[in-house]
Amino acid sequence: MARREIETFTIDAVPSELPFSSATKAGDLIHISGQIGHVHGEMKLVEGGLEAQARQSLDYLGQSLAAAGSSYDRVLKCTVFFADFADFKAFNEIYREYFKKYLPARSGIEVQGLALGALIEVECIALAD
């Protein structure tokens, strides 16, 4: 059996000092790192609360998918981390705007804290186009 090479992709929105890739790909499987709603290239959150952070997180998710050769329509599974699970319903309304063809499998988890004090973080597993 041939060994599959691992490719890494980093979008320019991620500050260069961070020690991780935006996405990794092995064969047709892509893993997207957790995306938070930070200011492009900076270590601070976008202003505007949950809606602004959720949209920015999902936009970065889309950019990471594209960089690795995929799209929202190829996402198999998302994991959403919430600073406050009370944001679940509001996040769902925004999330549905990004996943139009079908809804991938998903888990939602309330956590004690997220990077930079973010309200939401989203990661996913997808297939390459």
Domain that holds residue 108: 6-127
In a domain, residue 68? The reply is yes
Say which residue the tokens 């690795």 belong to: 68
pLDDT tens digit string along 91-105?
999 999 999 989 999
In a domain, residue 19? The reply is yes
In a domain, residue 1? The reply is no
Work out how many domains the chain is built from and give that number: 1
Q: What is d(CA 71, CA 89) in angstroms, rounded to the nearest whole number? A: 24
Neighbours of 48 (CB within 10 A): 12
pLDDT tens digit string along 5-38?
999 999 988 877 888 989 999 999 999 999 999 9
Q: CATH number, domain at 71?
A: 3.30.1330.40
